[in-house]
Amino acid sequence: MKTFLRLQYEKPDELPSEFGHDIRTPESFVEEFVTEFSQEGDTVLGPFAGFGTTMKVTEELDRVPYGVEYEEDRVSFIRDRIEHGENVVHGTIFDLPAYDLPTADLCLTSPPYMAEEGETNPFQNYTGKGSYGEYLTDFRRAFATVKECLASDAHLLVDISNLKNDGNVTTLVWDAGRILSDQYHFEGEIVIG
């Protein structure tokens, strides 16, 4: 496994202005990892579907995408971007097993981030008060739920970054890595430039 990759940071289509800041994952990132960790016809899960980039690229690569997204306007946006719009569910990762999705061969996702000094919980769509410790508890629960939906030989790929705000560093990658290593077999990390 490579430990460093350099990818193009391009987003070929515009995000509608009502969504504000464009936080989408570049398509080159999705293409790189979906191609490496799955085969044509495989099922790929995006439990934090966001704006549907993983689902769109997965479909273009002849895999079958499924996703879950909490924000209803994003679900509508995704459905317009992909051929099989019915494969995105409006819901939450914590209810993932209830959606009766097929077992996934690959999960590629980027969960919501929280800085240590944050006060709102991203797993409650940034509406509920919460601490970083509570966020990590929810992170653990979220990925335990994902594990229930994966094939025994599936790969889980998590796109996540450490955070630096006002001189404070949140070691989110390391904290998430410890949590995920408790639940999954850790094969390594890849730094993307």
What is the C-alpha separation between 121 and 127, in angstroms, rounded? 7
Tokens of 135: 């966020």
C-beta of residue 91 within 8 angstroms of C-beta of residue 68: yes
DSSP three-state, residue 5: strand
**Where does residue 153 rank: exposed (0-12), middle (13-18), buried (19+ CB within 10 A)?**
exposed
Structure-token match 């990892």, residue found: 33
Per-residue pLDDT reduced to its tens digit, 9-33? 676 676 656 656 656 577 888 999 9
Per-residue pLDDT reduced to its tens digit, 44-63? 999 999 889 999 999 999 99
User: What are residue 108's DSSP bridge partners?
Assistant: 157
Q: Check residue 187 and give its pLDDT.
A: 92
Quick one: average pLDDT of 76-96? 95
Q: Check residue 191 and give its pLDDT.
A: 86
What is the C-alpha separation between 74 and 18, in angstroms, rounded? 11
Q: Check residue 3 and give its pLDDT.
A: 78
Of the CA atoms within 13 Å of residue 43, those in its CB half-sphere come to: 16
**Per-residue pLDDT at 99 exceeds 60:** yes
User: What are residue 129's DSSP bridge partners?
Assistant: 120
Predicted TM-score (pTM) of the model is 0.90
Q: Which amino acid is at 166?
A: D
Per-residue pLDDT reduced to its tens digit, 66-78? 999 998 998 999 9
Helix (H) or strand (E) holding 142: helix 132-147
Per-residue pLDDT reduced to its tens digit, 100-143? 999 999 999 999 999 999 999 898 777 778 899 999 999 999 99
Helix (H) or strand (E) holding 180: helix 172-183
When the pLDDT of each residue in the chain is averaged and rounded to a whole number, the result is: 90
Q: Which amino acid is at 165?
A: N
**Per-residue pLDDT at 153 exceeds 90:** yes
> 55: Cβ–Cβ under 8 A, 6 or more apart, which residues?
44, 46, 49, 65, 66, 67, 78, 81, 82, 87, 88
**Phi and psi torsions of 61, nearest 5°:** -95, 15
**Per-residue pLDDT at 190 exceeds 80:** yes
Q: Check residue 171 and give its pLDDT.
A: 96
Lowest mean pLDDT among 118-127, 140-149, 179-188: 118-127
